Amino acid sequence: MNQLNDQHLVTGVDHIAFPTFDPAGTVKFYRDVLGFPVVHSICAAGWGPGDHPDFIHFFFDIGNGDRIAFFYYFGLPRPDTSAGSGDVYARFPEGTPDWFVRSRHLALHVESEEHLLEYRRRLDASEWPVEMQIQHETIESIYTHDPNGYFFEITRALRPVTPQEDLDADLTIDALVHIAQTPGHTLDDLLVRRAELIVERAPEWTATQEAR
């Protein structure tokens, strides 16, 4: 019997990688403005298929031993970003709503309001000032775009997550998977299915919590 087969084994982000066409701006933003140490870099001659350019792959520490990495390909032309929206990697046609373009982003965590505001101070003194500071349901975030156009967030928890939020998240996702099988599903369908699962699971959850 495999002792690991029911365990959650991963321990965080090793690295998340993005292409850059502005290595100087990228280093300025992550290392000089935000103060993320450079922790690794690999320079490599083009390898594999004949059209692979020479490149450098470089990494910044984003805390907890996790890293954000960039690929810079020598001689690869920068995409035309004069029309539409998005970043250097993903472009969207004119008229694509901002909320959709911004929905893919990286959010880094800080432990306190003081730490969040310290990053706000660093960004506001740079070419990439904070564009928004928002209190969401249970987190507060600052946002900007990095030199590559990648939407970048730093966030703090306004309070610890409560056990009932884990229950609610679990049953909400079960409800989502259930309704997602029906074409044309809506938020209304989700709220109805969620209510059914609340009625089914919430009383037992309370009993389990009280037994702890």
Partner 1 sequence: MGHRLFMLDVPENVPIAGVARHLPDVRVGRLGPYFVIESDAPLSIDRRATGVRHAVWYSFVAGLDGWRIAQWDKDALRTEER
For binding to partner 1 (CB under 8 A), which residues are involved?
A: 134-138, 159, 162-165, 167-168, 172, 188, 191-192, 194-199, 201-206
Beta-bridge partners for 71 = 19, 57
Nearer to partner 1, 110 or 171 (CB): 171
Encoding tokens for residue 54?
């020479």
Closest distance to partner 1 from the beta carbon of 208 (Å): 10
Nearer to partner 1, 13 or 197 (CB): 197
Encoding tokens for residue 59?
């990494």
CA 96, CA 3: separation in Å to the nearest integer?
48
Closest distance to partner 1 from the beta carbon of 172 (Å): 8
CA 97, CA 134: separation in Å to the nearest integer?
19
| Angle at the Cα of 81 from the Cα atoms of 78 and 85, rounded to 5 degrees | 140
Closest distance to partner 1 from the beta carbon of 160 (Å): 11
Closest distance to partner 1 from the beta carbon of 181 (Å): 19
Encoding tokens for residue 34?
């935000």
Nearer to partner 1, 118 or 189 (CB): 189
